[in-house]
Structure 1
Amino acid sequence: MEYVLVGAAFLVGCLLGWIGARGYSRTEGKNAEQIISQVQDQNRLLQTERDDLRQRLENDRIDRARLETRLEETQHRLTEQKALIEESARKLTDTFKALSLDALSENNRSFLVLAQKTLQITASEMTGDLEKRKQAIDALIKPLDETLKRYEVQILEMEKSRSQAYGDITRHMEELVRTQEQLKDQTRSLQSALREPQVRGRWGEITLKRVVEISGMSSHCDFVEQPSTLTETGLKRPDMIVKLPQGRQVIIDAKVPLRSYMDAFESDDEEVRKASFTRHAQAVRSHMISLASRDYWKQFDQSPDFVVLFLPGESFFSAALEHDQSLIEDGIARRVIISTPTTLIALLRTIAAVWQQNLISENAREVWETGLELYERVSVMVRHLAKIGEGILKTTQAYNAALGSWETRVQPSAHRLKGLVSPLQGKELPIPVPVDLSPRGTPPVTDDQEEGTP
C-alpha cells in the first residue's frame, strides 16, 4: 500500500514539475493541481482512518491475548490441582495398604470408593467451574472477535476503495497526459502558424473584431474594418475605426510583432527567455513609434488626438511592460494608447455610454424643438378660434336685431294681412326664437397676432 502511495505521489510530482517547466495551459495545470490536492486530502483521510482501525485492532488483539493467557493459566492451575488430588489419593491408599492390608482391606475398598466418589465430585465441580470460566471468557472474547471481523471487513472495503481511487487517479492522470499532449500539438501548430506575418495579422484582426463585438458594437454601424483613405502621403488603411458622436472617430491598429515573444515562450533557457522578452519589448516600442509617425489624427477628419495600439493578449503587454516599464508614459507622450482586450472593452463600453448619452441629448433637443413648434401652432390656432368666436357673436347680434325688426315691423303687418285675406286665415306664421347664447370669452386678437400662420 505504501509503495502505491509513493508511486502515485511521485507520478503527481513529476507531472506537476513537467507542467511547470513547459509552461503550457495554466488553466489545465490548475485543474490538475486541484484534482491532485483533493485526491491527496482524501488519501490522507483514508490513511488516518486506517491507522485508527489498526490501533483499535491491535488493542483488541492485546486484550484477547491477555484473556487467553489468563484462561491457559487457570487451566494449568486446575490441572495441577487435579494431579495433586490424585497424588494425595494414591499416597493415602498406599499408606492404608501399608498399615493393614488384610484388616483394613474392606475399609480400604470403602475408603477408595468414597475417595473415588469424592474425587469424581471434586473433578466434576472443577470441570464445571472450568467450563463456566471458559464460557465467561468466550463471552468476553466473542464481541472482540466480532469487532475484529468487522474491522477486517472495513479494512478490506477501505483497501478496495483506495484501489478504486488509485485507479481513478491513474485514469485522470492518463487523460491529463493525453490532454497535455493534444494541447502541446495544438500549441505547436498555433506557434507555427503565428510565425507567418499574414496569419499573425489576421489573428490580431479577428481578436480585435471579437472584442469590439463583445462590447456591444455592430459592424458598419458603430465601427468600420480597414477603411481606405487617400491622403497626401499615400493610401492609409487602419485596422479599424470606431465611430463617436458628432462625427468623431477612434483609430485602432492591431499589427503587433510577436516573434520574439514566441521564441521566449518556446525556450527553456532562462537567459534566452530574458533576451527574447527584451527583444519583444523593443519590437513593441518600435511599432509604437512607427504608429505615432503616421499621424492618423491629422489625416482623418474629426479624429481624436490619439491612436489605440491593440495587443491581442494580456501576456503580450505584461511581458513587454516588465522589460520596458516606460512604455505607457512614452506611448501617451506620442499619442499612442497601448490597449489589451480588457482595457479595450472598458474603452469601448465608455464609448457606448457616450453614444447613449448623446442619443438622450439629441432626443431631449428634438423634444424641446417640437414643443416650441407645437406652442407656436397652438397660438395661431387660438387666434383663429378667437376670430371665429367674434364672428359668431356678430352673427348672433345681427340675428337678434333682425328678429326685433320682425317682431316690431313685419309681424304686425303680416297679422293685418292675414285678417284681410281669407285664404290666409287659419295659417300661423312660425315664430322665430331669439338666441341668448354667446361664445365663451376669448382673448382679443391684435394686429400682430393676425400675422401668424399655422
Structure 2
Amino acid sequence: MTFFSDTLITLENLGFLGAGFLLGVLVALILARFGMLLISGRLKELSNQALYENSMKFMDLARDHFGGFVREARQDFRARGDEIRQAVDPVHKVLDRYEQRLGMMEKERDQAYGSISRHLADMARTQHLLHTETGNLVKALRVPHVRGRWGEITLKKAAELSGMAEHCDFSEQMTAGSGKGSLRPDMVVTLPGNRRIIVDAKVPLIAYLDALEAEDENEREVRMTAHARQVLAHIAQLGSKKYTERFSPSPEFVVLFIPGENFFSAALAQKPDLIEKGIEQGVILATPTTLIALLKAVAYSWQQQKGYENAEAIRDLGTQLYRRLSTMADHMNRLGSDIERTAATFNRAAGAMETRVMASARKLDDMAVTGKPLPGIKGVPVEKAKTRELKRMDTSELNTPERNASESQ
C-alpha cells in the first residue's frame, strides 16, 4: 500500500515537473523569439546603413577617380591643341609666302606684257628720229671718233629700249686679250646661263657718205659698191678674229651692228648675198630695229629665267607645305585615336560599374532601404562611322631621281 502511494506521489510530481518544464520551454521560446526579432531588426538596420555608407564611399571614390581621369584627359587635349597650333602656324606662314610669290609673279607678268605696246611705240618714234637725223649727221660721221661715239650711243639707246639696261645685261667696251692683238667689242650682251653675244659697231661708212655727196649717178653707184665691199671686208675681219677662242666663255655669235637702216639697205642692194656671207663667217648683221628685237628676246629670256627661279621657289614652298601638312595629318590622326581610346575606356569603366556595382546597389531601392535613388552613369557616345583617318602624305615622290635629273638640266 505504501508502494502504490509512493508511486502515485511520484507520478503526480512528474506531472507537475512536466507541466513546469513545458511552461519554461514555452516562456523560453517566447523570449527567444522576441530576442530574435529585436536582433534581426537591429542587424538589418546596421546592414542597410553599412551598405549605404559603402555605396556612397564607392561613389565618392569613383567620382574622384573619374574626375582625375577627366582632368588628365583635358590636359592631354590642351597639349594636343598646342601641338596642332604649332603645326598649323608654319603652314600658315608658308601659305602667306606662297601667296606673296604668286602676287609678285602676276605683277611682273602684267608689267612685262603691258609694256609691249609702249616699247613698240618707242621703237617707231626712235626709228623715225634716226631716219630724219641721218642727213644732219653725215658731216659729223666723217670724223672717226664722232662716228664711233654715235655707234655707242645708238647701242646704248637700243639696249635701253629693249629693257636690258635696267637689268645690266650688257657690258660696253670690254677688251679680250692685251697688247696689239687685243679685241675690243662695242658691247657684250650676257645671256642666261653665263653665255654671251658680242656686238661690234665699227662698220665703215666713208664710202656711203661719199656716195651721198656724189654729183652724178655713176659716181654714186661706184661709191655704193665700194660701201658694200667695205662692209663685206669688215665681216671677214670679224670672222677672222675668232671671238670664240679669245673670249671666255665663248660667245654664241658675233653681231655686226649697222647703226642705220639706210646703211644696211644700200650695202644689201649691191651685195644681195651679204647676209649669207656674214652667216658663213659666224657674223649676223643687225640694224637698230633688228638689234632691239634681238635684245628684247634676250630680255624676255631673262624674264623667263626669273620666272623659272620663282617657279623653283614656289616648288620648294610647295614641298615644304606638303611635308608639314603630312606632319599635321599625323598629329590629327593621333589626336583622333586618343579621343577614341579615351571614350572607349570611359565607356568600359561606366559599363562595368553599371552592370557589376550599380545593379546590386539598386536592389536596395527595391527593399526600400533608402529614399535616395542612386544616380546612373552615362557613357560617352562614339560615332565611329563619322571618324575618318587622315591619309599620311607620301613625300618620297617629291625627290624622285627623274625629277632631280630634270631639275639639274
- 2:153 pairs with one of 202, 206, 210: 206
Whole-angstrom CA distance in 2 between matches of 1:445 and 1:245:
40
- 1:192 pairs with one of 130, 133, 139: 139
Contact 2:177-2:246 within 8 A present in 1 as well: yes
Distance 1:431 1:296, change over 3 A: farther
> The residue matched to 2:256 in structure 1 has which SS?
strand
Within a 5 Å distance, the mapping from 1:26-425 to structure 2 comes to 187=135, 190-214=137-161, 216-221=162-167, 223-226=169-172, 228=174, 231=177, 236-301=183-248, 304-358=251-305, 367=314, 370-407=317-354
Shift of 1:201: 0.8
One-letter amino acid matched to 2:269: E
Contact 1:223-1:240 within 8 A present in 2 as well: no
Whole-angstrom CA distance in 2 between matches of 1:427 and 1:287:
118
Shift of 1:331: 0.8
Structure 1 residue runs without a partner (length 5+): 1-26, 28-182, 417-424, 450-454
Moved more, 375-384 or 233-242: 233-242
> The residue matched to 2:339 in structure 1 has which SS?
helix
Residues 399-431 of structure 1, C-alpha deviations (whole Å, 9 max, x = no match): 223333544567689999xxxxxxxx9999986
One-letter amino acid matched to 2:165: S
Whole-angstrom CA distance in 2 between matches of 1:275 and 1:411:
125
Residue 22 of structure 1 corresponds to none
> The residue matched to 2:165 in structure 1 has which SS?
coil
Contact 2:163-2:296 within 8 A present in 1 as well: no
> The residue matched to 2:170 in structure 1 has which SS?
strand
Distance 1:230 1:256, change over 3 A: closer
Distance 1:427 1:193, change over 3 A: farther
Shift of 1:330: 1.5
Residue 52 of structure 2 corresponds to none
Whole-angstrom CA distance in 2 between matches of 1:197 and 1:366:
50
Distance 1:403 1:257, change over 3 A: same
Residues 318-346 of structure 1, C-alpha deviations (whole Å, 9 max, x = no match): 22223333321211011000111222233
Whole-angstrom CA distance in 2 between matches of 1:445 and 1:352:
44
> The residue matched to 2:285 in structure 1 has which SS?
strand
Whole-angstrom CA distance in 1 between matches of 2:233 and 2:391:
79
> The residue matched to 2:343 in structure 1 has which SS?
helix
Structure 2 residue runs without a partner (length 5+): 1-127, 364-369, 396-409
One-letter amino acid matched to 1:244: L
Residue 434 of structure 1 corresponds to 379
Shift of 1:433: 3.5
Whole-angstrom CA distance in 1 between matches of 2:178 and 2:374:
98
Distance 1:247 1:253, change over 3 A: same
Whole-angstrom CA distance in 2 between matches of 1:444 and 1:348:
51
Shift of 1:297: 3.2
Shift of 1:219: 0.9
Distance 1:359 1:266, change over 3 A: same
Whole-angstrom CA distance in 2 between matches of 1:236 and 1:428:
109
Shift of 1:218: 3.3
> The residue matched to 2:332 in structure 1 has which SS?
helix
**Identity across aligned pairs (percent)?**
45
Contact 2:211-2:220 within 8 A present in 1 as well: yes
